[in-house]
């Protein structure tokens, strides 16, 4: 028979840990984005695959996407986007208490790209780290930032979603060559006296981890490194593969349920939203989710995928920035955001727009 666990604080002989304290709530204070200079229209994609502009538009809603050039690295795009977000938030870079970077396309195993980004932003010795949650990465980062601000471990947190998916795109693959784009989006999360970030509804389904995945592990693609000279013997660069129909079914049915749970958790109804900003995966998925949620026609919906493509972790902050810049959504509006992708992973929440 085991004894019941006791609270160590009940003993007078054990000193108590000073509790951490932070802001009562957190909110998004500023948002920024960076889109690469090079535009890849569907006409260029047709040089790689046997298809048509009509087929691509009908299947995905994409007319063009941006691909990064040699100088538009993951770090450079992140710095550009985060600098805008910091400026919009009204704080100084040295006030940033943490930098969280969501990406699946920083190709160095270590160090984390976040440390370079934090240094280039002028964030001093702020903790900086990467997370890998694919298209839900921005939502995961937002949850971490919300917790840091409210527990007092950081007053201001920069959350960045950034991808160079062109590095992982097989241009000969007819099912994916037209989908992916590059870019970076960033948000500054800081203290608030009123709730600005609703409860995050997030999760994963590892049983479907192969539905969206890299074709091969690095050691398989390039051969296991030689113990003496470290040379691999592989020749083909790994790329992204996706089972489109399986992803479509999962995104439409299961993700609509997750989005509704996020609304319920925030105590908000669909007609009270000022914007719906889903992950920009596919226009047909977006339309199906609108229908499943019963979203009123009066609620503006992000459709950034048409000109940006699927930028994974960067898609939600990029779409948010565009909606605010164009006036489709306004500062102070409530927005439902939801990201979903490889893992399979997802994250949804209601937020107040900066």
Identify the three-state secondary structure at position 213. strand
Any catalytic annotation for residue 310?
yes
Q: Measured between alpha carbons, how far is 36 from 157 in angstroms, rounded to an integer?
A: 24
State the catalytic residue, choosing from 42, 106, 123, 310. 310
Q: Quote the tokens at residue 268.
A: 């908000």
47 is catalytic: no
Q: How far apart are CA 249 and CA 107, in angstroms?
A: 30
Q: Catalytic one among 106, 123, 135, 282?
A: 135
Torsion of CA 112, 212, 263, 81, to 10 degrees: 40
Q: Which of 192, 131, 124, 219 is nearest to 352 (CA)?
A: 192
Q: Which two tokens mark 193?
A: 């006296």
Considering the candidates 42, 123, 279, 282, report the single residue annotated as catalytic.
279
Burial class (CB in 10 A: 0-12, 13-18, 19+), 314: buried
Structure-block tokens of residue 242 = 């996706």
Residue 106 appears among annotated catalytic residues: no
* Tokens, residue 204: 């994963």
What phi-psi label fits residue 27: left (phi over 0), alpha (psi between -120 and 50 degrees) or beta?
beta
Residues annotated as catalytic are 135, 279, 310
């Amino acid at each position: 028979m085991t004894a019941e666990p006791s609270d160590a604080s009940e003993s007078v002989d054990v000193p108590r840990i000073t509790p951490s304290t932070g802001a009562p709530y957190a909110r998004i204070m500023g948002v920024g984005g960076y889109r690469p200079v090079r535009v890849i229209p569907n006409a260029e994609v047709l040089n790689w695959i046997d298809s048509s502009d009509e087929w691509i538009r009908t299947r995905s809603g994409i007319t063009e996407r941006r691909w990064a050039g040699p100088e538009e690295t993951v770090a450079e795009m992140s710095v550009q986007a985060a600098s805008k977000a910091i400026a919009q938030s009204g704080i100084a870079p040295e006030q940033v208490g943490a930098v969280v970077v969501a990406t699946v396309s920083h190709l160095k195993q270590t160090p984390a790209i976040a440390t370079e980004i934090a240094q280039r932003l002028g964030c001093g010795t702020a903790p900086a780290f990467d997370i890998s949650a694919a298209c839900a990465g921005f939502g995961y980062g937002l949850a971490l930032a919300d917790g840091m601000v409210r527990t007092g471990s950081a007053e201001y947190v920069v959350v960045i979603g950034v991808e160079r998916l062109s590095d992982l795109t097989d241009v000969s693959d007819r099912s994916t060559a037209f989908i992916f784009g590059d870019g970076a989006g960033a948000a500054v999360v800081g203290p608030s006296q009123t709730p600005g970030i609703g409860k995050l509804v997030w999760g994963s389904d590892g049983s479907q981890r192969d539905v969206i995945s890299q074709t091969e592990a690095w050691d398989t693609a390039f051969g296991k490194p030689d113990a003496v000279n470290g040379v691999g013997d592989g020749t083909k660069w790994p790329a992204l593969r996706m089972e489109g129909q399986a992803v479509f079914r999962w995104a439409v049915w299961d993700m609509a349920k997750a989005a509704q749970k996020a609304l319920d958790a925030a105590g908000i109804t669909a007609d009270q939203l000022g914007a719906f900003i889903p992950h920009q995966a596919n226009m047909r998925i977006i339309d199906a989710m609108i229908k499943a949620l019963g979203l009123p026609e009066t609620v503006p919906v992000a459709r950034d995928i048409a000109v940006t493509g699927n930028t994974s972790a960067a898609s939600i902050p990029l779409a948010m920035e565009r909606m605010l810049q164009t006036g489709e959504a306004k500062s102070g509006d409530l927005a439902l955001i939801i990201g979903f992708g490889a893992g399979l992973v997802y994250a949804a929440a209601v937020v107040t727009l900066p």
